[in-house]
Amino acid sequence: MALAKELYRELQDIVGPEYLSEEKVVMDGYAWHGFGLLGPEPEDRFQTVPEAVVLPGSTEDVQAIVKWANRRGVQFKPQVTAFGAHANVGKPGQIILDLRRMNRILEFDEKNMYMVVEPYVSFITVMAEAQKRGLYVNGLGSGSHVSVLASITSMHGNNCLAITQGYSGRNLLGCEWVLPTGDIVRTGALGSGAGWFSGDGPGPSLRGVIRGAGGAMGGLGVFTKAAVHLHPWPGPAEIKVKGVSPYYNGEIPPLMEYHLLEFPDWTSYGAAQYKLAESGILFSIQKGGGPGTVGYSVTGNNNEYYEAWKKGELMPPVSSFAITLNAYSEKEHAYQVKTLNQILADTGGRISPVGEKTDWKERDFLHLIKNCFTLRGAYRPTGQFVVDSVIGNDTIGSTVLGVEKDVELRDIWMEKGFILNDGTHSGWQSVFEGGHMALHECGQDYDPFNKVTYQQMYQLLRDGNKIAVETPMSLGWSLSGAFGGITSLSRHFCDYAHWMQQVKIALDPREASDPSGYISAHDVIRK
């Protein structure tokens, strides 16, 4: 089914014919999704097909489309880099606003440490531009190719840089927001005409409403501009990269360090993270390399990894994490190294020899700075993974417990023969902002072409949900939105879905903005 001719013509009048399509293969491209479990069969990768895709070029275009959608009773879903099923339309009859044409960096305020971006500006380009000016930005665990604006306004997001760069929602310094009704709101200091320097005023601070912890994932209108908070970058204006794809190695500058740290047990692992975070010496920190293993991330293809693995190489101990240090001066660098060594001595840890091998060191270093190899660990091993809901976003201690729980779950499922079993437990964990908060996620790689395995992954998810509720973990992003069973799990987490529903009803009375990644006024929330 396509849009009625009259509706199509009206949309065409807004953006011009070259920026609107309802061609079937184009629609199928937008309906395709690569994430995990999307239906009863592994082949169920074409999800709901949009009626049309429109490419607005400005806030004015977006506003006109949203007002048209309200007038015409057509639901819309905004998307940017669209990495994830939440970016798709939730049900038939909806259109997609692909914001790709809105791709400019609008303002760079070095003094006040922020950058104003349009939706289709990726983390990697902001990293590159900021680095030249002695600043840096948080990335996203899913990779630095994704949208900065989408991450800070609409989605849960953090990565190994969160220790110095904060996590996504914390870096939102105001935005221009086309509400689901088509009205425009400007938040933070921008809302009072004072510029973009503060997300909380003077002017309306709506960060809690806009995004809360996880973001509305396209369910609350369209964010068309946002100011992202930048943080100090002590390193050089550019990290030199050697080699030819896929063998890129980053030259570690003299005042930077990369090490993989290993510990005898989880207690010392957690204690070291607390001490390191409190010491303020870290620039980035993470356990694992996404749902896969770092070994995949530092090799050029799966065969290479497998050959090395057979020789017992690329195998860090399970209780290990990687760090970088980044200093302004030799004196500061010496202090950082001395502090690191002292903490290792105090906690029984050591610098792992696995991480000191040149390729591992220079490639994982590059990844810990640029988030450039996420897909190697996440998708290359088997082609697919599921996040098993053993996700936590709380204290370091809580997340270390989460990683332990994941190891237990993973052992069971490896023994059953349904998930990747190469001896590397690679649940992902990171520490935020001086260590007051942390996050862990556990992805399980499986063979998506094995139908039995595929079906079993649903049971693995249920097992993970049970652990998450019983432990309890805090709410993970995979539990948000209709995809994550928000209506059934809300009761375990302070009935947060009720509050979301009230926000949705107040801001989107006609429910024009696709609620599938957020919540609908019509959803029944389990008590």
Partner 1 sequence: MALENHYKDMMRCVKCSECKWIPLAMVKSQRFAQCCPSMGKYNFHTYSGGGKVNMGMSLYTKRAEFNDENLDILYRCTMCGACDVSCKCTKDMEVMEINQELRLLAVAEGQINLAHSPLLDSLRQEDNMMQKKKQDRGNWADGLTVKNITQEKAQVYFHAGCRYSFDQELWPEVRSALTLLQKAGVDVAIAGKDENCCAGRAYEIGYQSELNKYGENNLDLLKNAGIKTIVTPCAECYYAFKVLYPKLLKTAGLEVLHITEYLNRLIKEGALKPSKKVEMRVTYHDPCHLGRLGEPYIPWEGEEIIVNQGTYIYDPPKPWRKGTYGVYEPPRDLLQSIPGIELVEMERIKEYAWCCGAGAAVIDTYPELAEYGAEERLEEAGATGAEAIVTACPYCKTNFNQVIQANHHKLKVYDILELLEQSI
Footprint (CB under 8 A) of partner 1, residues 440-459: 445-450, 453
Decide: is 262 part of the binding site for partner 1 (CB under 8 A).
no
Which three-class secondary structure state does DSSP give residue 34?
A: coil
Shorter beta-carbon distance to partner 1: residue 8 or 418 = 418
Residue 254 interacts with partner 1 (CB under 8 A): yes or no? no
Q: Distance from CA of residue 363 to its chain's centroid? A: 21
- By beta-carbon proximity to partner 1, the closer residue of 248 and 499 is 248
482-483-487 Cα angle (round to 5): 40
φ and ψ at residue 141, rounded to 5 degrees: -55, -30
User: Residues of 340-376 as b/e, b for ≥16 C-beta within 10 angstroms?
Assistant: beebbeebebbbbebbebeebbbbbbbbbbbbbbbbb
Contact of 230 with 130, CB cutoff 8 Å:
yes
Do 497 and 486 contact (CB within 8 A), yes or no? yes
Q: Which is nearer to partner 1, 82 or 256 (CB)?
A: 82
277 is a contact residue toward partner 1 (CB under 8 A): no
Element (H, E) at 14: helix 5-15
Min separation Cβ 418 and partner 1, Å: 7
Q: Closer to partner 1 by CB, 302 or 488: give it.
A: 302
59-72 vs 5-15: helix axis angle to the nearest 10? 160
Q: Tell me: does residue 313 bind partner 1 (CB under 8 A).
A: no
Tell me how far apart the alpha carbons of residues 280 and 260 are, in angstroms, rounded to a whole number.
18
Taking the least distance from each CB to partner 1, the nearer of 182 and 448 is 448
Smallest gap from residue 253 Cβ to partner 1 (A): 15
Q: In the β-sheet with 392-394, what is the strand arrangement from edge to edge?
A: 392-394, 437-441, 428-432
Q: Cβ 456 to partner 1, closest distance in Å? A: 12
Residue 35 sits in the site that holds partner 1 (CB under 8 A): yes
Residue of 248, 266, 335, 499 that binds partner 1 (CB under 8 A): 248
Best CA proximity match to 79, nearest among 14, 155, 9: 155
Query: What is the smallest separation between the CB atom of 209 and partner 1, expressed in angstroms?
Result: 29
Q: Does 107 bind partner 1 (CB under 8 A)?
A: no
Task: Using the minimum distance from each CB to partner 1, give the nearer residue, 120 or 496.
Answer: 120
Which window, 28-36, 323-331, 486-494, 512-520, contacts partner 1 (CB under 8 A)? Answer: 28-36
Which of 12, 72, 109, 129: binder of partner 1 (CB under 8 A)? Answer: 129
- Of residues 307 and 470, the one with the C-beta less far from partner 1: 307
From the centroid of its chain, how far is CA 187?
23
Which residue has 């692909």 as its token pair?
A: 98
Q: In 280-329, which ranges are continuous DSSP H helix?
A: 294-297, 302-310
Rounded to the nearest whole angstrom, what is the least distance from the CB of residue 363 to partner 1 in the complex?
A: 9
Nearer to partner 1, 27 or 327 (CB): 27
Looking at beta carbons only, is 126 or 512 nearer to partner 1?
Answer: 126
Instruction: Give yes or no for residue 100 binding partner 1 (CB under 8 A).
Output: yes
Quick one: which segment of 6-14, 25-33, 258-266, 501-509 binds partner 1 (CB under 8 A)?
A: 25-33
Decide if 69 contacts 75 (C-beta within 8 A).
yes
Q: Is 477 in the site for partner 1 (CB under 8 A)?
A: no
Asked whether position 419 contacts partner 1 by CB under 8 A, the answer is: yes
Residue 264 beta carbon to partner 1: minimum distance, rounded to whole angstroms: 26
Cβ atoms of 480 and 387 closer than 8 Å: no
- Should residue 19 be labelled a site residue for partner 1 when binding is judged by CB under 8 A? yes
| Helix-helix angle 330-347:266-279, to 10 degrees | 150
C-alpha angle 212-508-49 in degrees, rounded to nearest 5: 90
Using the rule CB under 8 A, which residue among 366, 439, 461, 489 binds partner 1?
Answer: 366
> Cα–Cα distance between 83 and 35 in angstroms, integer?
8
**Of the ranges 257-265, 298-306, 350-358, 486-494, which one interacts with partner 1 (CB under 8 A)?**
298-306
Distance CA 295, CA 269 (A): 20
